[in-house]
Amino acid sequence: MLKAATDFPQQVSTNSAVLSVTLDPYTTADGFFEAMKGYEPASYTVALRLTASWLDDFTSFKTIISDISKMKENLDGYIKAPNKTDAYELNLESLDNAVDECNAQRSLITKNVDAVTRDPKLAIASRSDKDDKFKYTKPGQIRDRLPAKKNVTQSTLTSLSGSSIVCCNVLEGETKCTKLYWQHENGSIMESTCKNLEWSLEQTMVATSAMPNTPLAAVFDPTSTKTRVFYMSKGRICELFRAVNHAVWIDGEFVNPTATNSPITNLAVYRQPSGRLHLFYQDQKHKLIHEVFEPGATEWAAPSGIPEDQYTMVSGSSLTVLPGVDDWFSVVFQGSDANWIELVFDPTTEDAAKKWKKAEIGLTLRLCRPGNGLSSTFLESTKTKELVAIYPSNEIWMTKYENDKWSDPAHVGTVSASGKVAINHGSSGDCRIYASKNRGVVEMTWDDSKKVCKVTREAGMPILPA
Q: Please tell me whether residues 225 and 101 are part of one structural domain.
A: no
Residue 289 sits in which domain range?
A: 166-458
Q: What is the pLDDT of residue 329?
A: 93
- Alpha carbons 328 and 322: distance in angstroms, whole number: 9
What one-character-per-residue DSSP string does 156-209 give?
---BPTT---EEEEEEETTEEEEEEEEEBTTS-EEEEEEETTEE-S--EEEES-
**Listed residue (47, 32, 6, 43) closest to 370, CA to CA:** 32
- Residues 397, 341: one domain? yes
Which one-letter amino acid corresponds to residue 270? Y
Helix (H, G, I), strand (E, B) or coil at 319: strand
154 lies in a domain? Answer: no
Tell me how far apart the alpha carbons of residues 237 and 358 are, in angstroms, rounded to a whole number: 27
User: Are 196 and 143 contained in the same domain?
Assistant: no
Please list, in sequence order, all residues whose beta carbon lies within 8 angstroms of the beta carbon of residue 431, skipping any fewer than 6 positions away: 377, 379, 386, 423, 424, 425, 445, 446, 448
User: Residues 115, 172: one domain?
Assistant: no
Q: Is residue 157 part of a domain?
A: no
Q: Which residues contact 216 (CB under 8 A, 6 or more apart)?
A: 164, 165, 166, 181, 182, 183, 189, 229, 230, 231, 267
Claim to verify: residue 86 and residue 126 sit in the same structural domain: yes
293 and 266 within one domain: yes
Report the pLDDT value the prediction gives residue 52, as an integer from 0 to 100.
66
Q: Does some domain include residue 284?
A: yes
Positions of the chain with pLDDT under 70: 1-52, 120, 123-133, 151-158, 160-162, 255-265, 304, 308-310, 338, 361, 369-372, 427-428, 438-439, 459-466
Secondary structure letter of residue 88 according to DSSP? P
Residue 273 and residue 243 share a domain: yes
Nearest CA to 101 out of 61, 70, 160 is that of 61
Three-state secondary structure call for residue 404: coil
Specify whether the CB–CB gap between 301 and 290 falls below 8 A.
no
Counting the structural domains of the chain, the total is 2
Q: Do residues 132 and 173 share a domain? A: no
| 86 falls within a domain | yes
What are the beta bridge partners of residue 447? 452
CA-to-CA dists, residue 310 to 32, 67, 227, 336, 349, angstroms:
21, 52, 33, 10, 20
Task: Determine if residue 127 is left, alpha or beta; phi over 0 gives left, psi from -120 to 50 gives alpha, anything else beta.
Answer: beta
Query: Has residue 158 been placed in a domain?
Result: no
Q: Where among 149, 184, 219 does a domain terminate?
A: 149
Q: Supply the pLDDT for residue 254.
A: 84
Alpha carbons 374 and 90: distance in angstroms, whole number: 43
pTM equals: 0.72
For residues 102 and 231, state if they share a domain.
Answer: no
- Considering the domain boundaries, does residue 7 fall inside one? yes
DSSP state of 81: P
Are 35 and 22 in contact by the 8 Å Cβ rule? The answer is no
Domain stop point among 98, 115, 149? 149
Residues 314 and 438 in one domain: yes
Length of the chain equals 466
Instruction: Specify the pLDDT at position 3.
Output: 38
pLDDT for the residue 462: 57
199, 212 Cβ separation under 8 angstroms: no
Please count the CA atoms within 13 angstroms of the CA of 431 that sit on its side-chain side. Answer: 25
Which of residues 120, 149, 178 is at a domain's end? Answer: 149
Judge if 92 and 202 occupy the same domain. Answer: no
pLDDT given at position 54? 78
Q: What is the pLDDT of residues 46-58, one digit of tens each?
A: 565 566 677 777 8
**For position 262, which CATH number holds?**
2.120.10.70
pLDDT at position 259: 56
User: What gap in Å lies between CA 47 and CA 59, rounded to an integer?
Assistant: 18
Please check whether residue 159 lies inside any domain of the structure: no
Classify residue 400: in a domain, yes or no: yes
Q: Are residues 127 and 173 part of one domain?
A: no
The Cα–Cα gap between 267 and 313 comes to: 13
pLDDT of residue 286: 78
Position 83 scores a pLDDT of 73
Q: 3-state DSSP call for residue 307?
A: coil
| Rg of the Cα atoms in the chain | 22
Strand boundaries in 294-367, DSSP class E: 319-323, 329-334, 340-345, 356-358
